[in-house]
Structure 1
Amino acid sequence: MSLKHFTTLLAVFGLMNFAIPVANAAEDDLLTIGSKAPDINVEHWVSDNDGKYEHITDFKDGNVYIVEFWATWCGPCIASMPHISDLQKKYADQDVQVISISDESLDTVQAFLAKPVRGDDSGKTYAELTSSYCLTTDPDGSVNKDYMQAAGQNGIPTAFLVGKTGLIEWIGHPMTMDKPLAQVVAGDWDRSAYAEQFIAKQKMDAGMQNVMVAYRSGDTEKAIGLLDELIKIAPDAQSKAQMEGMKLQLLIRAGGEKGAKALKELAETQAAPAVKNRLAWMIYQMSEQGQSDDVMIAAAAEITQKALEADPENAEILDTHARLLHKQGKLDEALKAQRKAAEIGSDEPEAKKQIDSFLEQLEKEAKE
């Protein structure tokens, strides 16, 4: 089963809305909450509030730093700029310094900054908008590697909040850092409580990367085993449901008896015959592409049979059932089901055309 089929399964059965993360650091080596913030070596400091802010490499005790990653092509990054500017102005006299880092070329960044701010009729440029804080670019990507990749973070904008002792206090979208920033500055931020939740998510993300590496290498059995381990350590019900949904998909992908069992169990959770039919039809399509075995086809035929027990006059279900029977070499049974499907007909012109066409194929085979 392709990743496209996985996504379709999720959409059809409402199991979850799950994006596979792509972590770049080993689980045990993740940069995380409470880690010492790595020194930074930024190549180009484009703005620094007219020299107010130092071009630092390491972090001074007693100061708070926001290390934020952005790019000129990133819409959410650009949308965050006014808020970041406002935060820098708000905390300018409280030893807070924003360092916003791209990994694009200096020419690319400068060309962007020369443009007028979108939606601002005053003619203000992005250079003026971001002049209150340190906007930089680091084309060799060293800081990105030390922060984003080391922490398994892939989406931008992402901000790392470095506290007064040089430790990372918070990681997230800059539009959501107002509260933690205020508490870090005030000295009443509960790092331990936040760390417990964040590190659990990081470990899940890193674990999912290992699952996807195994899956993409064709080792579905290993991927399923890794998912079993993740299910055991899932920090909440939602995460557990996501892992279980992914495991279900991988079992169906693997086929065989385990896949057939998972397929039938999933079908049993769906009361509507039409929904059962959509699952069985997916298996039929997979078989047409050589991606489903005989055991899975037989299981899908069982599902359509049960769907027909609840809705015996449904032409679409009869059509799916006939095709699955045909896959099993049961021509007479397939022909009987397809004749009934054609007799009932469908209100959908394309569906009716497909039903009639398949009936013609079966009748031709029966005469040979």
Structure 2
Amino acid sequence: MKPIILILVLFVFSCKEAPTEIVEVNETIDENSKGIELEIKDYVDIEPYLNIKDDNVYVVNFWATWCAPCVKELPFFEQLGKNFKDNNVKVVLISLDFPNHYESKLIPFIEKNKLQSKILVLDDPDMNSWIPKVSADWEGAIPATIIYNKDKKQFYEQSFTYEELKTEVNKFLN
């Protein structure tokens, strides 16, 4: 197993850029807010979302508001969910934002960008335990994505364009 420090360094510093100008995550919650309630879970509660065996294709993306490549690709996941919903494709966005940023950054980000995908928040500080359970290939960097169906599963530790994402999902639809 990898040393704790290495995993922590890779995880925290994998996104070196500040969030792009697609969104501004430092807003406060508007008083007319819809009152988004976050589904905050530990890994045990997240794990079932990584192993559903039905007739759908699941696209599960690990991301954070502080990760510029994550923020840049999120619209592509939203577009994929919208364009492929009739093909039984389900998008699940798992936020790795820090607990002290839920109210000040994550909720305003979700509201401002009108995210429609299923959003879960993973709050489990034992990264050395759950990262290898997500994928033995995961070094801890985000964005990271799993695409799977009942027959196969693929892990990606990379950013996607919409076309790349669509190409990968189509491999699971055939």
TM-score of the aligned structures, taking structure 1 as reference length: 0.30
User: Residues 183-205 of structure 1: CA distance to partner in whole angstroms, max 9, x if unpaired?
Assistant: 312x1xxxxxxxxxxxxxxxxxx
- Cα distance in structure 1, aligned partners of 2:153 and 2:55: 13
Tell me, yes or no, if structure 1 residue 89 matches structure 2 residue 77.
no
1:129 aligned residue? 113
- Quote the residue 1:139 is aligned against: 123
Per the alignment, residue 45 of structure 1 pairs with: 39
Distance 1:79 1:136, change over 3 A: same
| Greater Cα radius of gyration, structure 1 or 2 | 1
Residue 160 of structure 1 corresponds to: 146
- The 8 Å contact of residues 63 and 95 in structure 2, kept in 1 or not, is answered as yes
Higher strand share: 2
Name stretches of at least 5 consecutive residues in structure 1 with no aligned partner: 1-21, 25-43, 47-54, 116-124, 188-368
Higher helix content, 1 or 2: 1
* 1:272-306: CA deviation from partner (whole Å, max 9, x where unpaired): xxxxxxxxxxxxxxxxxxxxxxxxxxxxxxxxxxx
> 2:66 maps to what in 1?
73
Q: Give how far 1:110 is off.
A: 3.9
Q: How many angstroms apart in 2 are the aligned matches of 1:93 and 1:128? A: 26
Give deviations 1:194-229, integer Å, cap 9, x for gaps.
xxxxxxxxxxxxxxxxxxxxxxxxxxxxxxxxxxxx
2:66 is matched by which residue type in structure 1? Answer: W
| Conservation of the 8 A alpha-carbon contact between 1:85 and 1:132 | yes
**CA apart distance, 1:78:** 0.9
Counterpart for residue 169 of structure 1: 154
Write the distance in 2 (CA, Å) between the matches of 1:96 and 1:110. Answer: 29
CA deviation vs aligned residue, 1:221-277 (integer Å, no higher than 9, x gap):
xxxxxxxxxxxxxxxxxxxxxxxxxxxxxxxxxxxxxxxxxxxxxxxxxxxxxxxxx
Which residue is 1:102 aligned to? 95
**1:179 correspondence with 2:167:** yes
Q: Distance in 2 between matches of 1:130 and 1:174?
A: 20
1:76 positional shift = 0.9
2:43 matched to which residue of 1? none
> Structure 1: how far apart are the matches of 2:114 and 2:150?
24
Q: Read off the aligned partner of 1:82 and give its amino acid letter.
A: P
Identity of aligned residues (%): 23
1:113-128 pair list within 5 angstroms: 113-115=106-108, 126-128=110-112
In structure 1, distance between residues paired with 2:7 and 2:105: 29
C-alpha distance in 2 between matches for 1:145 and 1:127 = 32
Shift of 1:131: 2.7
Normalised to the residue count of structure 2, the TM-score between the two structures is 0.59
Contact 1:81 1:130 in 2 (8 A): no
Give the whole-Å Cα distance in 2 for the aligned partners of 1:182 and 1:86. Answer: 14
Question: Following the alignment from structure 1 to structure 2, what is the Cα–Cα distance between the partners of residues 147 and 76?
Answer: 20
Shift of 1:161: 0.9
